[in-house]
Copies of this chain bind each other. A is one copy, B any other.
Amino acid sequence: MALEHAILVSLLEKPGSGYELARRFDRSIGYFWAATHQQIYRILKRMENDGWVEPREVAQQSRPDKKEYSVAAPGRAALAQWLHEPIEPESVRHELAVKIRGAAFDDPAALLHEVERHRRAHADRLAHYRAGELRDFTGPDAPAPDVGRELQHVVLRGGIAYEQMTLAWLDDVIATLHRLGAEKR
């Protein structure tokens, strides 16, 4: 389980409310660990009870008040402990791969649209990552690098590499499906 740790990391990078965390999980850190606001509020409450995070009421003008959380010492300690525990190299969970193998028992060509849709989604994500890289790390207006930024950047490079690889593979899948369709004729 790493969602609580992901939240701790995000709050250490910058304190914020549950809502703000949910938005971050739609962006940066959420690219590698997805979470909905329901999950986040639940875990935030548990971590507050355990003394891992501390809320601060922030009154806002022309917006609802919010609870801004920051990490307390026990939360930092819990994160440090987790960082020193080994984790299992994870196995991928690739639903599309199951579909592709399943297509052998249906019509392979019928999968083309689905695969092409996935290709577009991954191309969009890659463009998005690259724009973020330029804005935050390699562009002329990027902030000065430090340890935290370097580590964020290497994680983002991982996301970019993943999307590039996925695009190339989906092209391979599309070509294979075309070929199988052509052979049948």
Chain A positions within 8 Å of B, measured between CB atoms, are: 2, 5-6, 8-9, 12-13, 29-34, 76, 79-80, 82-84, 86-87, 89-106, 108, 110-111, 114, 117-118, 121-122, 125, 147-148, 150-152, 154-155, 157-159, 161-162, 164-165, 168-169, 172-173, 176, 179-180
Q: A79 vs B82: C-alpha distance in the bound complex, in angstroms?
A: 40
In contact, A34 and B111 (Cβ under 8 angstroms): no
In contact, A33 and B165 (Cβ under 8 angstroms): no
In contact, A95 and B90 (Cβ under 8 angstroms): yes
Q: Given A157-B169, A158-B173, A165-B162, does the pair A96, B101 have CB atoms closer than 8 Å?
A: no
In contact, B80 and A106 (Cβ under 8 angstroms): yes
Question: Which B residue's beta carbon lies closest to that of A6?
Answer: B98
Q: A170 vs B46: C-alpha distance in the bound complex, in angstroms?
A: 33
Question: Taking the nearest CB of chain B, how far is it from the CB of A29, in angstroms?
Answer: 7
